[in-house]
Amino acid sequence: ASKLAPALAALARFKSTSSSATSLKQRVEQLIPEKNAEVKEVKQKYGDRVLGETTVNMAYGGMRGIKGMIWDTSLLDADEGIRFRGLSIPEVQQQLPKPKGATETTPEALFWLLLTGEIPTAAQAQSITDELNSRASLPQFVIDLIDRCPSTLHPMSQLSLAVNALQHDSQFAKAYHAGINRKDYWDPVFEDSLDLLAKLPLVASRIYRNVFKDGKHGSVDASVDYSQNFANLLGFAENAEFADLMRLYLVIHSDHEGGNVSAHTTHLVGSALSDPYLSFAAGLNGLAGPLHGLANQEVLRWIIKMQEEIGTDTPTEDQIREYCWATLNSGRVVPGYGHAVLRKTDPRYMAQREFAQKNLPEDNLFKTVSALYKVVPGVLTEHGKTKNPWPNVDAHSGVLLRHYGLVEQDFYTVLFGVSRAFGVLSQLIWDRALGFSIERPKSLTTESIRAMFEKK
């Protein structure tokens, strides 16, 4: 077990909220003075302490491993994986409330946890569902904008375009222009964040139906939860398992510390007091990059290509081992394996594996993924060039989506984007509530680094 486990567990209040607050917004408002006092105390006590050293290799290597930002909603441990406000993924699955008839918890319940550190009651989770459903509509000009996009424009570009357009109605932008007190910044940021979350399934499904289907669109059902509505809007209303997959997918992809590209970008742009729409759109543009959000479709394409080249959709472990070596010997990587921080199997992978074992155990693609899980770590260990030979979240998600008929791989990153909104917007609200500064790290030139060490 990780040495951090006790401290991580202490971050969450392992009981349902006992506060008199009747809404999430009221609860956040109650917590702000407490959290500000905590930050003030930490800065007073430890403000001059050193968090860690920074090496030249870190500066050239994407700042990997540098401890230099605050992200309270989640913490990634190399041995345990992600914890949301102190709770592991299995604990989130077990302790957060589920809708009636569902087997998975909801992103709405997770949103309450991320913002408050408290496990919501079923009624509190439902209040977020109701709030989001009440805000789920799009301005006509945004509908027209999406509908005018050529089907050849990548779905992620369309999503970013639409989120930027929704900025037209930003409450924070209007409040800032009117001279709002900086102590109250969090309030319109909270409102913008809920508005944006509510509208994302409508935007994403409209893009999906326009690009890949018949261009016909549904409407939000106020009686069901966020993930069921998203499944309905995409065209999977009749499949209860797909709705549960959406719940699982949206929860486990929501937050993964603050240093990844989409989270850091949202935080960085938000630090300039750009509103949630502009900040999240910037994060989406980072998520669209091949090294970040496109990994799950690359995994699926690699597996399908392997099956085609071997000539069977049920390759043996020996055939898989041989194909993996051929991939590595050609200078490529086996996609879906390894992680910048994790040093064990990603718990997000395990959550998806357990879902597959329960719902699609005879699916041939899942059988191949299971065989890869047996084979690849040994091959990568023998190869000797990876610190972590275990699968990450991307090694599984595409297989699940494909099983239920969502086969359009260019749309997978859009689903990731909808999910990631819950995490990054939770932290963005707290960024403004705690008065975080504009981000401005110090950069160096290669020549200045050379001079720094050569003159000694």
Provide the annotated active-site residues: 292, 339, 394
Alpha helices for 117-185 (secondary structure H)? 122-134, 140-148, 155-166, 171-177
- Is residue 392 within 8 Å of 337, Cβ to Cβ? yes
- Answer positive or negative: Cα dihedral of 325, 329, 330, 335: positive
21 dihedral zone (left: phi>0; alpha: psi -120 to 50; beta): beta
Judge contact between 194 and 188, C-beta under 8 A: no
Q: Rg of the chain over CA atoms, in angstroms? A: 22
C-alpha pair distances (Å), 9 with each of 4, 14, 91, 278:
9, 9, 10, 34
The C-alpha atoms of residue 321 and residue 72 are separated, in whole angstroms, by 41
Helices (H) and strands (E) in the chain, counts: 21, 5
- Diameter over CA atoms, the chain: 70
What's the CA gap between 286 and 420, in Å, rounded? 12
Report the distance separating Cα 85 and Cα 340, nearest Å. 21
Cβ atoms of residues 247 and 100 within 8 Å: no
CA-based nearest residue to 83, from 3, 1, 5:
5
Judge residue 157's burial from the number of C-beta atoms within 10 Å of its C-beta, 0-12 exposed, 13-18 middle, 19 or more buried: middle
Q: Are 421 and 196 in contact (CB under 8 A)?
A: yes
Question: What is d(CA 281, CA 170) in angstroms, rounded to the nearest whole number?
Answer: 13
CA 442 to chain CA centroid, Å, is: 28
Q: Whole-angstrom Cα distance, residue 119 to residue 38?
A: 21
Two structure tokens written together for 389: 């030979």
Query: Three-state DSSP class for 16?
Result: strand
81: left (phi over 0), alpha (psi -120 to 50) or beta: left
* SS3 call for 13: strand
CB atoms within 10 A of CB 183: 12
151, burial (CB in 10 Å: exposed 0-12, middle 13-18, buried 19+)? exposed
